[in-house]
Amino acid sequence: MAYDGGCPFCRRSIATLLHWQARDATGLFVLDSPLARRLGAHFGEDPASFDSSWLIEAGQLHRDSDAGWRLARHFRWPWRALVALRWVPPPLRDGTYRLIARNRHRFQPGLADADRAAIDARRVESLRVADCIALGLPESLAER
């Protein structure tokens, strides 16, 4: 999952996500990184826009609210129920997502040291061949 590493709201959201997650399914990388640029080029996306979160599964990149409900499949109950958001019409879902994204820098939630450590422990700077296989990506994206 890619996120805006310079955004306090985004970092707090990632820490919350890690707390809710039922299984270790998400490697994290920031959108302002060489890995994001390489993956962005592969998918034809510009990570420099910092207006979205990305989720890569089965060789596909999902962004915005689509990434959110797909990620909810990995949460523990009752948070897994957020998967129901997939039934909300995409224009409404994405409009709400973009409204929050445009205003996210106004929110300044604090981040505990334990949360910061959990995020850092999951951050990836490069992909291994095994990562590419697990994500359904070409092995050529792996660092050798």
pLDDT at 44: 92
Low-confidence stretches of the chain (pLDDT < 50) are none
Average pLDDT along the chain: 83
Domain count within the chain: 1
* CA torsion through residues 21, 24, 25, 28, sign: positive
Total count of residues recorded for the chain: 144
- Per residue in 67-92, pLDDT tens? 888 888 888 888 889 899 999 999 99
Give the C-alpha separation, 12 to 73, whole Å. 20
pTM exceeds 0.95 for this model: no
Containing structural domain, residue 114 = 2-141
Is residue 97 within 8 Å of residue 89, measured between CB atoms? no
Is residue 108 within 8 Å of residue 8, measured between CB atoms? yes
